[in-house]
Amino acid sequence: MSIFLAVALAASPTIAQMKWERRVLIVSAPSPGDPTLAEQRRILAGWKSNADKRDLTVVEVVGDQVRGAGDTPASIRHKYRLPDGFMAILVGKDGGEKLRSAKPFPAAALEATIDAMPMRKAGQR
């Protein structure tokens, strides 16, 4: 492992370290060219300001790379039982899985689910 990769991994918190601070949307795909991944990215790009307001971090596990967290691809795949194909999982601030889908999440589904969470409601008061 290069020193630069080690520093980059150390700089990114793991999903476990985000617990109680951030909601995490795990997006997993077999390759960068996966059309379902492209669709989920397009949806999230249009919803970016809403994601920021909802304390949401997107973690992508694509092939043998992870973006958005310091975890290894193997550890995320094992913990969240990710299949070989596309999968999207919304993890709440409590660390629990809230949504799971083999299709991209529509922005409205993410928004409604997050806004219904007790910690989101408490933060809006």
**What digits encode the pLDDT tens for the residues 74-115?**
999 999 999 999 999 999 999 999 999 999 999 999 989 998
In a domain, 2, yes or no: no
Q: With cut-offs at 50, 70 and 90, classify the pLDDT of residue 125.
A: very low
Assign residue 30 the CATH number of its domain. 3.40.30.10
In a domain, 8, yes or no: no
pLDDT of residue 53: 81
In a domain, 1, yes or no: no
Per-residue HEC secondary structure of 48-116 comes to: HHHHHHCCEEEEEEECCEEECCCCCHHHHHHHCCCCCCCEEEEECCCCCEEEEECCCCCHHHHHHHHHC
Domain extent at residue 48: 22-123
In a domain, 56, yes or no: yes
pTM across the whole model: 0.85
In a domain, 12, yes or no: no
* Tally of structural domains, the chain: 1
In a domain, 5, yes or no: no
Cβ atoms 35, 51 nearer than 8 A: no
Mean of all residue pLDDT scores within the chain: 87
In a domain, 16, yes or no: no
